[in-house]
Amino acid sequence: MESQIIWFSTIVLIALIFIPYVIKFRKRQKHDYERHQEAVALDADKPIAQYPQIDIMKCIGCGTCVMACPEGDVLGIVHGKSAVINGLKCVGHARCAEVCPVNAITVGLGDISARDDIPLMNDANETNLPGLYIAGELGGLALIKNAISRGKRVVDHIAADILPGQNEMYDIIVIGAGPAGISAALTAKQHDLSCLILDQQGFGGTILQYPRKKVVMTHPVEIPLYGWLNKQEYTKEELLAIWNEIHRKFKLNIKIGEKLEHVRRKGNGFHVQTNKNSYSAQRVVLALGRRGTPRKLNVPGEESAKVMYKLIDAESYQNNHILIVGGGDSAVEAAIGLSMQPGNSITISYRKAKFFRLKKKNQQNISELIATGKVRVIYNSNVIKISHESVELSTHDGVQRLQNDYVLIFAGGEPPFKRLKDIGIEFGGEEKSVAA
């Protein structure tokens, strides 16, 4: 009798623990499956940079990777296995790979042979044109850590391959003054190579376009010659102060306001043509971003002076009616910054039914602002006309006319892929031959 009681108690205890777990697990799987289907329908499941590659033969479906992701919503459990739900939101933190108990996840670009948005490169980041390299975001890898490490790795490879000071040309020309370009130039200085940096905007790259006080997440990384960035988060101002200190301390040779027009083979090196000058170098490193020139809406009134494609200083806008167009992180960050300024009325126009590719922190912040009425969102809408004091949107309920002082458009950019193809750089999608 006593043994029966013990067995009965044990079974009840197991049931009390196991049954709720099974119910919760099945509910989560159902939710993840629905999210995955929604992501596929919205074309948000496909990554644009590095992403988790899951070996389903090893995966045990424990969900540790799902819980570890700092961005949230990137991974889920579908049919008992981990799966990429929202590839657009992955920026390559790689926490999922670090915590996986069976080493079923690697984070990278995967097979790029069929992707027409990433140049084909060998292991040294050299393109099909020998001597022409790619570093940073253009190669498909996000995060400052990756940009800095790739910039260093590329120039280390170049340093072992050339004789410096040949024929009155630069040893290296770096196109782009973001983290990858800065790292490449510093590494060139380490190797006593002559190096010129060209950039059409300014020293710092894409960070220059961020709103004031925007928090930039990074991982500990060592900048050549300078030292370590050890913090998990930096503000825009902190990073720019570091870049400026590097510029002053190491006297990097940089020319601002020069937009790349073409790169051509010249003897054993290259001829680089910008909108202002021409230069020669033994090797060229393209450290460009992927965004390119801002994508326009092509609607009446878009040429107005009140229309902008980036937000530099949110504090400059107060007591204004502002429309923000777009649903990505840049658009939402602008809305968050502008909503904090006195007197502003902020509306977001987004062409889809919901935000679907935001960083976790941005999703939380914008949800709170929407809930408190500080930001209004009109989903499934498109701008059709911009006037002096108003803007018109096409919505499911017809045309809406909003009072308006400024329009900020965050519709992405036209990437520099065509220019790269004109240079002769090959992308995926057909048979290629990459430099060995």
Full residue range of the structural domain in which residue 374 is found = 294-413
pLDDT of residue 107 exceeding 90? no
pLDDT at 233: 81
> Does residue 433 sit within a domain?
no
Q: Do residues 168 and 269 touch, judged by C-beta distance below 8 A?
A: no
Most confident residue range from 32-46, 74-88, 242-256, 285-299: 242-256
Task: Report d(CA 275, CA 262) in Å as an integer.
Answer: 9
Give the span between the Cα atoms of 8 and 15, in whole angstroms: 10
* 3-class secondary structure, 363: helix
Host H or E run for residue 152: helix 144-159
pLDDT band at 430 (very low <50, low <70, confident <90, very high): low
Q: Summarize pLDDT for 200-248 with one digit per residue, the tens.
A: 877 887 776 666 666 676 678 899 999 998 887 888 788 888 998 999 9
3-state DSSP assignment of residue 335: helix
Residue with the two structure tokens 């940096």: 197
pLDDT over 60 at 145, yes or no: yes
Residue 85: count of CB within 10 angstroms of its CB? 27
CA distance 302 to 295: 12
CATH code of 392's domain: 3.50.50.60
Lowest-pLDDT range, 13-17, 88-92, 197-201, 273-277?
13-17
Whose CA is closest to 361, among 333, 395, 325? Answer: 333
Is residue 164 a contact partner of residue 193, using CB atoms and an 8 Å limit? Answer: yes
**Are 312 and 246 in a shared domain?**
no
* Separation of first and last alpha carbons in the chain: 77
The token pair at 396 is 């499911």
267 and 140 in a single domain? The answer is: yes
* Average pLDDT estimate for 85-99: 80
Is the domain of 172 the same as that of 48? no
3-state secondary structure (DSSP) of residue 50? coil
One domain for residues 18 and 80: yes
Task: Output the CA torsion sign for 323, 325, 330, 332.
Answer: positive
| Pair 250, 377 in one domain | no
pLDDT-based confidence at 432, cuts 50/70/90? very low
Please state the rounded mean pLDDT for residues 414-419. Answer: 83
Same domain, 229 and 308: no
Q: Do β-strands 398-403 and 307-308 pair in parallel, antiparallel, or remain unpaired? A: unpaired
Which tops the pLDDT comparison, 168 or 401?
Answer: 401
The CATH number that applies at residue 55 is 3.30.70.20
Quote the pLDDT of residue 395.
95
**Of 316, 359, 357, nearest to 338 (Cα)?**
316
Q: Domain tally for the chain?
A: 3
